[in-house]
Amino acid sequence: MEHENLFDILEHIEAHKRDELLKVCRDMRLSEAAIAGVEEAARLLRYFETYQKPQIPTDRALRASLEKIEKLSRELRGAIDQAGRFDKLAMHDFMAQRSLGGFLAWPSSVPLSGVVDYIGLALSHLSSAAAAVQKQNHGAGCKGGRRKLLHHYYFHINWVWEAVQDEGLSLGRGGPFERLCDAVFMAAGVPAASEGAVRYFYEKRAQIEIDRASWREDVFESATNPESNGGMQRARFAADAGENKGS
């Protein structure tokens, strides 16, 4: 069965909660288009709370994953270094003869010792990156059993904002926009008010929009000019791999 869009398959919010949400919207004199967008946000948030949120790992689980990535990538790099030259070339030939699929491109250039050493260098960088992120997270004071939710809630708060940004609602703590977000959270069954998520939205919105615009520019540049910065970085990476082949 084909669906016209996502909202054809999302569950509706409970009738009495929907009525409360619509009452808040109409008390604020929102347009019907804005109300429809707000209700979409509530339905998306309800889906997140019911099905996606329980699957989000805790800080402790995330930290354990980083530790495992650091350890196993370092160990695999060591195993690659200890492998025989001819075995690595044989693995190179085996991989070269088989399509990696459109989702995994063959490197544009590899060290003379083959793609296996290239992968080894990537694993070394991965191990270092995992260690760096662990240190960064520790400095940020991550808690043991808590889930990171604010950046998930950002998406839903932003959906509300996109729906009502032309409706004249004032921003600011305790203002109409936050009260509307409270109503959305309540309709979606979030066991907390929206204050922290809205504050995060206020604090991060400008930078996230800058990062998003930069990302779009990078994607466009990569698509139109393969030899741009991304291509140059790949070339430098391959050169580094060549220098590292004797390690």
Going by pLDDT thresholds of 50, 70 and 90, the confidence category of residue 149 is: confident
Of the listed ranges 3-17, 35-49, 154-168, the least confidently predicted one is 3-17
The residue type of 166 is D
Per-residue pLDDT reduced to its tens digit, 89-113: 999 888 888 766 556 677 777 777 8
Q: What is the per-residue pLDDT for 139?
A: 56
Q: What CA–CA distance (Å, rounded) separates 217 from 138?
A: 32
In this predicted model, which residue has the larger pLDDT, 208 or 68? 68
Per-residue confidence band for 221, with pLDDT thresholds at 50, 70 and 90:
low
State percent of the chain over pLDDT 90: 46
| Lowest-confidence pick of 17-21, 54-58, 99-103 | 99-103
Confidence of residue 137 (pLDDT cuts 50, 70, 90): confident
pTM of the entire predicted model? 0.57
